[in-house]
Each structure stands twice: as C-alpha cells, then as structure tokens.
Amino acid sequence: MSLLERLEAAGRPAPPGDEVVSPDLLDEVRARLVQGGQAPSPEHVRAVVRQCGAVLGSRALAVLVSAVRAEMLGAGPLQALLDTPGVTDVLVNAPDQVWVERAGRLERAPVDLGSTEAVRALAVRLAAAGGQRLDDASPLVDARLPDGTRLHAVLPPVGGPCALLSLRVLRPHAFTMAELVATGAVAPGFAPVLRSLVGARANVLVSGATGTGKTTLLSALLSLVPPDERIVCIEEAGELAPDHPHVVRLLTRRPNVESSGGVDLPELVRQALRMRPDRIVLGECRGAEVREVLTALNTGHEGGWATVHANTAADVPARLEALAALAGLDGDAVAAQVVSAVDAVVHLRRVATGRVLAEIGVVQRDATGRVEVVTALSRRPDAVDAGGPAGPTDPEGVRQGPGWSSLERRLRAGDR
C-alpha cells in the first residue's frame, strides 16, 4: 500500500479529480529530501516539488506536504489518527489491526499498514526519533517523540508475530478544575476539597489504574498552586503540563549502548531536594524511588504530590509496601514513613462513560498498627458508573465516609 493510500485509509481524504498526487511523486520528493539532508519543512517540500517539475493544485500540494512530513517526522500513516480530535491512544496489534481510543472507548480504525515488516520499520523509526534503540538486542522501548507523543513498542518474538505499538497523545494544555467538573470527571462536591488539599499544602497520592486520568487531574491541581511557589516535577515521560508560571522539570535518561549515562528517578528526587522546591511532584511512583519520596515529604517539603498505580484507594498501602521493599525497607519502616508523610489519597476509576474521581481517603493506622486508607468522600457506585449525578436527594452522588472528620481537621490545620 502506498503512502497516499495509507493516509486515505486513515481518514484523510485525497484531492478530487486532477489534483490526485501520484505515489511516485511522493517517493521522489521524500528521496530528494533525504539525499539533500533537508528538514521536511513545508517550504523545503514545496521547493523539492518545483525541482521535480511537478505542477500541483493547492489542495494536492497540501496533501503531499502533510504526507511527507508525517512519513519523515511524525508517525507516518498513523499521524492522521494522532491528529484526530478526541483520540487519546493509537494501538497497533498487526498491520490490519489498528485501534484508537476516543471518549474512553476503543474502536477499530480503517488503516492497513501493509506488512509486519512495515510495522517493524515504523516502530524502529519512531524509537529512533525518540532517542531510543529498538532492535533484536533491545526489543522493548518506552520513549517520547519530538511532538510529545508517548511511544511504547515491542518487537517480535517478545510481542508475538508482529511489532506492537502503543502511542499516547500528549494533551496540548492542562484542564482546569472547572473543565473537569463540567465534563463529569470530578463531581462538584469534590472540587472544593481538592482545592483545599492544594491550599493546605497536604501531601497527596493520586491513585488509579493505567489510563484513569491521574496525570490529567494532577496537572489541573498543580495549576491551583499559588504562582509564587516553585514546583519541581520529576518524571520519566514529561507528561505533566500544569498552567503555572514556575515549573521546573527533571526527566530520567536511559543508559546508552555502553550502559552508562543513565539518570534514574531516585537520583532525580535527591537532586530535586537541592533545588529549593516549594512542591516536589513525582509523575509516577513505581519503584525504589518511593524511599526518597517519603523521605522528602518527611523533611519539611509539604504540598508534595505523586501518582501511583492501584486498583482501589484501600490497596495503596500494600502497593507502597511492595515498592518500598524494592528499596530495602521493611513493613514497620514503611508504615511509619507513610503515616507521617502522606495525608490523603485521591483515587480515580475508569468507567464506560470515561474517567472519574471516585474517592478521597485519609491515611492512618488501624488497630493493629498497619497503614490503611479510610474513605473521607466517595462518589456513590451508581454515580461512578454513570459518570455523572445520581439521584435528586444527592444530586452530586457524593457522600461522606468515616474518614471525613480526620480530613476536615487536616484541611483546617493547613488553613491556619
């Protein structure tokens, strides 16, 4: 399948009538750009078209420019899907099995990438664009493309007979709290509590499964931080995008082919403590860096946030204990650190209608001394599944839990 045909299959219409661009012209323009070492900017593409002696209408020229740039800079035949409004993920399971996620639902895309060799070549090129190596010796890659798209790729035979691609679209701007409330992701009853957690400089974990909107919510909450405070964000992929005037970003770096030069999350957390942070934010806590995070939150750095994968808010203590074990901490040490460092847990769920904030809990010890998360506010199950209000007597679907009084005391203490 030619590049033009693949673009058409992806939903980008071809010019009508005499403005159809020939595949041979596409290949010639691309080859000349590569041979001349030119960047495929719109101006350079148009100049090469003139060198080829081709005469194109304005619409055909626009299609050719987009096709060449998508092939050389973007995701090739997948770029049209990534550019489609509302698409958050593009997934490739096989040449003729391309899926997109839109409004929280997966749907098949009418795209055929041609062959398993073409899928592999696309995966290798995208990995290189993200500064990563992808080959038989290194068949797994997690990278960020120049436009911010997050790439995960797996080569055969680890991923089966065909290379597997997962592309997550970077949101161009952070949602505001008002927008999250308007879309139903955050019930109105949660919004003032979330604002108070930020204002009271509480240390909070945002939990949820993959794709539940943890980063989206955290970006919105960080946008509420007073503008005279310095936020240091520590991440692997650089997905947090708070609307705030003073944000410093630290990103991990993978080792090179000689296994040197790598910078991991624990090291970045230690460095962040020396950067005069008002707020330390860890984009994703999933390893031994939990030790440094808990230490930082226990040494006067209030108002810290982190995301963590967990099925429920009640599962967060067990998750932290498992991560801390990677850093050599025993259960008692973890319990002491967590209770002292973390004030609340904000948990999100993924439902049929999208992603919703389901619960806010407080962290405390139970009668046996183990750490537990006690529900302070929760969205009723029927309201969560509906993704919106539920019931005339409780229009927001939010109710208080046994941990509400503890959370209220913490918020009042932070206001003083």
- pLDDT in single tens digits along all 416 residues of the chain: 444 444 444 444 443 333 455 566 666 766 666 566 556 666 667 777 767 766 666 676 676 666 666 665 567 788 889 888 889 899 999 999 999 998 778 999 998 888 999 899 899 989 988 888 899 988 999 888 877 788 999 999 998 899 999 999 876 667 899 999 998 899 999 999 999 999 999 999 999 998 888 999 999 999 999 999 999 999 887 788 899 999 999 988 877 767 778 888 888 988 998 999 999 999 888 888 888 888 878 877 889 999 999 999 999 999 999 998 888 888 888 888 899 999 999 999 988 777 899 999 999 998 888 899 999 999 976 555 554 444 433 446 789 999 999 999 999 886 64
Distance CA 280, CA 243 (A): 16
Backbone angles phi and psi of 281, in degrees to 5:
-125, 125
The domain locations on the chain are 3-73, 78-168, 177-415
pLDDT of 1:
42
Assign 140 to helix, strand or coil.
strand
Return the beta strands (E) in 310-395 as ranges.
344-351, 354-365, 371-379
* Residues in contact with 133: Cβ distance below 8 Å, sequence separation at least 6, in sequence order: 127, 141, 257
Asked if the peptide bond before residue 157 counts as cis, ω within 30 degrees of 0, the response is yes
- Its sign, for the CA torsion 116, 120, 125, 129, is positive
The pLDDT value given to residue 391: 40
| Euclidean distance between CA atoms 131 and 119, whole angstroms | 19
Q: What is the pLDDT of residue 389?
A: 43
Q: Are the C-beta atoms of 46 and 23 separated by less than 8 Å? A: no
CA 197 to CA 377: how far, in whole Å? 13
- State the CATH architecture for 78-168: 2-Layer Sandwich (3.30)
Helix-strand-coil percent breakdown of the chain, rounded to 5? 35, 25, 40
> What's the pLDDT score for residue 63?
65
Q: Name residue 247's beta-bridge partners.
A: 231
Residues linked to residue 99 through DSSP beta bridges, in sequence order = 91, 108
Give the helix/strand (H/E) hosting 128: helix 116-129
The CATH code of domain 177-415 reads: 3.40.50.300
Question: What is the distance between the alpha carbons of residues 286 and 209, in angstroms, rounded to a whole number?
Answer: 12
pLDDT of residue 24: 67
Tell me how long the chain is: 416
Q: Pseudo-torsion of CA 83, 84, 89, 95, nearest 10°?
A: -80
Burial 161-182 (b: 16+ CB within 10 A, else e): ebbbbbbbbbeeebbebeebbe
Of 178, 193, 216, the C-alpha closest to 355 is 216
What confidence score (pLDDT) does residue 151 get? 92
Q: How far apart are CA 397 and CA 381, in angstroms?
A: 8
Beta strand pairing status for 105-109 and 97-102?
Answer: antiparallel
Q: Which helix (H) or strand (E) holds 247?
A: strand 247-251
| Edge-to-edge strand list for the sheet holding 247-251 | 247-251, 231-235, 279-282, 305-309, 204-208, 344-351, 354-365, 371-379, 398-400
Do the domains at 78-168 and 177-415 have one common CATH topology? no
b/e per residue, 322-347, with b = 16+ CB within 10 A?
ebbeebebeeeebbbbbbebbbbbbb
**Residue-level pLDDT at 299:** 73
Cβ neighbourhood burial of 412 (10 Å; 0-12, 13-18, 19+): exposed
Tokens standing for 197?
Answer: 């957690």
Neighbours of 110 (CB within 10 A): 10
- Cβ contact 254:132 at 8 Å: yes
| Residue type at position 157 | P
